[in-house]
A and B are shown apart, each in its own frame.
Chain A
Amino acid sequence: MAASQKFWVLLVIIGNSAIAEFRGKLRDGCPMIMYRMLLAIIGLALFSAAYAVDNRPRNLSAPCFACHGTDGNSEGGMPVLAGMDKALFVSQMSDFKSGARPATVMHQHARGYTDEEIKLMAGFFEAQKRK
């Protein structure tokens, strides 16, 4: 789980206990319809925050699409990355980086990214549907 996702999950937990605490006060102070609306608004806000997508893996991977096709679905010639096993992606990129796997161009790309970024890209491509 990415750090940002952990943050939002934590916020939901805090948010839920806060709701429980304020529920009573809210109910006492508002007509029922307004109380329900307030609960719905708070719930919706917390729900969308919890499901706010972390686009960093996608953003890091997007420049790769120029050669490897949109979402890693190559149109020909270049390897398909969509659906590639995450561990395989990481090991290939590490081998390009170290020079263990010879390449025409990929060593020059692999060396531009941190190991953490390579893991994020691996996760992105693994999750893409292969056409």
Chain B
Amino acid sequence: MSFPGLVFASSELIKKTGQRVVIVGGGFGGATAAKYIRKWSNNRIEVVLIERNPVFISCPMSNTVLGGTRTIDDLTVGYDTLQKKYGIKLIKGDVTAIDPEKQAVMLDNGHVSYDRLIVSPGVDFMYDKIDGLDAQVANESILHAWKAGAQTVMLRKQLEAMPDGGVFAISIPKKPYRCPPGPYERACQVAYYFKNNKPRSKVLILDANPEVISKKGLFTAAWNDLYAGIVEYRPNSAVMKVDVATRTATTESGDVKADVLNVLPPMRSGLVADMAGLSNVDARWCGVDFLSYESRVHKNIHVIGDAIDYALPRSAHMATSQAKVCAAAIIELLQGNQPDQNPVMANTCYSMVSGNEAMHVADVYRYDSEKKVMIAAAGGGVSANRSELEGRLAGYWLKNILSDALL
């Protein structure tokens, strides 16, 4: 979609003097890209970051808010350091249109022109795939809490209000979705809360996939060792319909009534990507060139994070790794140079399975110049066991990745 003439009918919100990169979305990907374009260009390239939320809240570790070992404040970081320390220009607001021809992003009160645009839109939810579900229901009663923040806090309150002996049911969509191990970690965290506070309660996992898709052995061991009699796992149980009044989920294999129903709808690229028609793969994910993260649809527009089309994990560490490849490539491209032709990136993802134990999956991904995709290098894998040591490392991971992205 483009709107010829729109640019000139509105005013430039920030006077453009030199080369400028505009970034839409200040999550792990967008914030990291903003910081590193400034840092690696010695502040030569102007960066404008557009974000709708007043503060950053980390999705990773947000399941521990449900378990009760962290609060949402522990996961919250302001954008002020990005502004003060790196000179990033922050616009709080919603994008209303993107014009790839005139190279401008529209907001309610004007536009910002760009030489290069990075769209880091995260995911949005395909509510229409589940009968009875829509954005309002998801915000008020049958929460997803798959973007950390108000819903995370509300879900914790639902668990606190639930009587002992109640059922918490979580529905997992078919892959791919944001954070593959996240739903299984959430089941552990809710079970941890129940075990200590409401021991007669149950956690029911309704998985649309035929089996646990991430850290299978480790999660299965945690459920057996720590939460026997609390956690029940049901594969091939896609939720097709929900009834809000009775909190009933209809699955392929029958109806499930829950006291707290937590439905993760199927996911897609954040909707802002559609403003420039960037979601070109199955009208769902954004195809990119993995050397620069430039969109396959439009020149000078790059897409990073969970929204891109690839077969690798949609995680925070991957989003920041992509952001750095993209930042380095954009700096080269704006100087007329070729980007690094052999990007290598790493992913480490911890899952907290109790109050203090965690396990991880770690891989290095390398560019395959024939297939033109990132593929896992040999040698990656998961923890040998869950452990308290990894539980502490997970906390250090959070502290460092938040700092690397935002401070």
Contacts and interface: CB of A to CB of B under 8 A. Distances in A.
A64 B317 CA distance: 10
A48 to B, nearest CB: 10
A69 B396 CA distance: 10
Contact of B363 (A62, A107, A108): A108
A123 to B, nearest CB: 16
Q: Name the residue in B340, B346, B397, B399 with the highest tally of chain A Cβ atoms < 10 Å from its Cβ.
A: B346
B198 to A, nearest CB: 32
B321 A63 contact: yes
Contacts of A68: 400
A56 B325 CA distance: 11
Contacts of B328: 55, 58-59, 62
B199 to A, nearest CB: 31
Nearest to A111: B379
A64 B387 contact: no
Interface in B227-270: none
A39 interface: no
A77 B395 contact: yes
B340 A69 contact: no
Contacts of B165: none
Interface string A97-131: 00000001101111111000100000000000000
A68 B404 CA distance: 9
Interface residues of A, number: 29
Contacts, number: 108
A101 to B, nearest CB: 15
Contacts of A64: 346
Contacts of A108: 362-364, 379-381
Contacts of A77: 392-393, 395-396, 399-400
Contacts of B130: none
A78 interface: yes
B383 A59 contact: no
A70 B403 contact: yes
Contacts of B366: 112
Given A59-B340, A62-B324, A117-B344, A69 B400 contact: yes
B324 A105 contact: no
A66 interface: yes
B396 A113 contact: no
Contact of A109 (B40, B364, B401): B364
Nearest 9 CB-CB pairings of A with B = A112-B364, A111-B379, A77-B396, A112-B377, A63-B346, A108-B362, A62-B324, A63-B321, A75-B403
